[in-house]
Chain A
Amino acid sequence: MSTEIADKNRDEFDIEILNTVGKPFIDKPEDIKMATRDCDVFYGDKQAIFGVDLDIGKNEIIAMIGPSGCGKSTYLRALNRMNDTIEICRVSGSLTLDGQDIYSKKQDPVLLRARVGMVFQKPNPFPKSIYDNVAYGARLHGLVSNKADLDDLVEASLTKAGLFKEVKDNLQKPGTGLSGGQQQRLCIARTIAVDPEVILMDEPTSALDPIATAIIEELMDELRHNYTIAIVTHSMQQAARISQRTAYFHLGKLVEVNATNDVFTNPEHQLTENYITGRFG
């Protein structure tokens, strides 16, 4: 890349973000599943997220896009307090689930994570059998009382994740022996088995080939009817294909939130336009 273009990019990069443009809020309060107001996240002295205001609606897929290091994963992890495990990480502002503050003292992080499940970038099945992987959460929380119910739950979860047909004869085989795409679907089945209300997905298909990606995208579209899904993705095509709303993050700030169609066809903010047209990122 010549210096000229690099300089130009830097200029485009340096546009000041004053306020989030577009429609970060949802009008009807009964449609809101999660809401954050003035959310800041710090790693030690370094601030990673600056005053994010955003509503996540019920039964919608909201995609979060933006260049690497823009804080979208950090924001996602703040939504189910996965950041708690990082000692130097601090979250401030208001983050609510069904109107309840998830960072209040009364909120139990274990209960929260049972309600807000997470699927990670790299498929991470436990080194146990497929069955035990799916049954893990249910056993952990005591969701079922007998073996037959557990069998049913495992089957239902695997079916919902579109994996049951492929593994029904090998439920006792290790989950780590599956292919990458199957492993990720196993991880989704494992998350569904706990019956969460919100599923957070942190680049769930970035390690997968296009075919596996397509299967998972289809799956997400079906899951939308029962769950709220927030997905972080680097693929703008993916965001365009699956999400109803898209949020664009830049340098820790939420730049623009709009209906996905609008973001990709008619972005309001200059930075969003620069990003989706591939001028940087």
Chain B
Amino acid sequence: MTNAAVAVQHQSVKADDSFLTIRKLTKKFGDVAAVDAVSLNIRKGEIFAMLGASGCGKSTLLRMLAGFEIPSSGAIVLEGQDITSLPPYERPINMMFQSYALFPHLTVEQNIAFGLERDGMPKGDITTRVTEMLELTQLKQFAKRKPHQLSGGQQQRVALARSLAKRPKLLLLDEPLGALDKKLREQTQIELVNIIDKVGVTCVMVTHDQEEAMTMASRIAVMKSGGFLQVGPPREIYETPATKYVADFIGNVNLFKGTLSVDEPDHVVIQTPECQHFVSHGITGTLGMDVHVALRPEKISLQKKAPTPQERESAREDGFNCVQGIVKNVSYLGSYTTYHVKLSTGTTLKVMNTNDARHDDHRLDWDDSVYAWWDGSDVVVLTQ
């Protein structure tokens, strides 16, 4: 009896934990697998982003969740119910389309009420729900307008209101801000997250914009050729990328190819043609194996004089994590400046420094000879 109770409790916890389960989901178009045996658990209330270049399969995956594409194999389970072959109109899932797909012949109100009417909700309840949605998205004054009488940002909010009106268990966002210009996008990202949080709906979004994914999502999946390369919170994806592709795809990175020359439990040393990289943590690898060293440009310090031992304290030993080169390009970008430093090996090192003062006395210029150095804890070793 107790065992059974424990089992049930355990299962309920597990069910709660994984609100949406995707198991070995595959979609083939002819011989090409657009989505290739993808498995995933999504927690309730989470905003999950699938990030990738165009053609990586993220849209196909989203369309399978919505029910527009029928999977070749695999299963989608939402709150314990297998919905793999349920048609879109029977799924408790709603989608906000990239083009918004607002019905041009209906007013804002009618657009929002559209899904509710399909469910046969009583008229009074529909009015209440529509009003609630209009208030939530601050669209009250536009209720009687047609979509073409709205600006891009307003249309986006109507699309959101419409997809939330049916109180779906799962909200899908397809490039939610892709149609807006940059300035509006930043502001809308925050608004969108606030509304989703307020409603408390679980959300899966697809985007090619890493900034959008990192601002909005609690977890990100980086996709390539139909599969997930890495799944994790934004910080984890950025600071500890699992593969070369992820390191390169998210943000800027300097990659060095080298071999593992010292392998200790608390530190390792990677020998690359440019320099010796001291890494202040252990890795799983064997001595002599080929690895890549990834280094974010903003983690590198740049100066004309050789760094003093005090400055380089954390690098511990002289000669490690320090290279000399010549500045070949300076791009002043307002809040920060990027430098391209050419090393003696011919490699170009990207460095990014924040402009934290209005006047910089030690400003670097083209053809300056410089030292670039970095901390041993900022180095990421990639084995694949």
Partners in one complex: no
Residues of A within 8 A of B (CB): none
Q: Which residues of B contact A (CB under 8 A)?
A: none
